[in-house]
Amino acid sequence: MSRDNKVNMPASTAGITRYFDDYKSKISIKPEVVIVLIIVVIILVLVLSAWGNSWLA
């Protein structure tokens, strides 16, 4: 009997836009490259904070 009064509910993802499906970037950088660049910047900041004042002054 309850089958006659069946109500269709909206999908659970209704209203949520998934942007990664809509746009594909032309520039692709691997995560490993980003991590290496971050490590290089950290080392550069540490070196400049330790000896940079004598080099630049």
Give the residue, 7 or 26, on which the prediction is more confident: 26
The two structure tokens encoding residue 7: 């109500």
pLDDT band, residue 21 (cuts 50/70/90): low
Residue 53 reports pLDDT greater than 90? no
CA separation for the pair 2, 34 (Å, rounded):
56
Interval 3-22 mean pLDDT: 62
Task: State the Cα–Cα distance between residues 41 and 34, nearest whole angstrom.
Answer: 11
d(CA 57, CA 47) in angstroms, rounded, equals 15
The predicted structure's pLDDT at residue 10: 59
Predicted local distance difference test score (pLDDT) of residue 30: 94
DSSP 9: P
Q: Which alpha helices (H) appear in the chain, and where do they start and end?
A: 19-22, 31-56
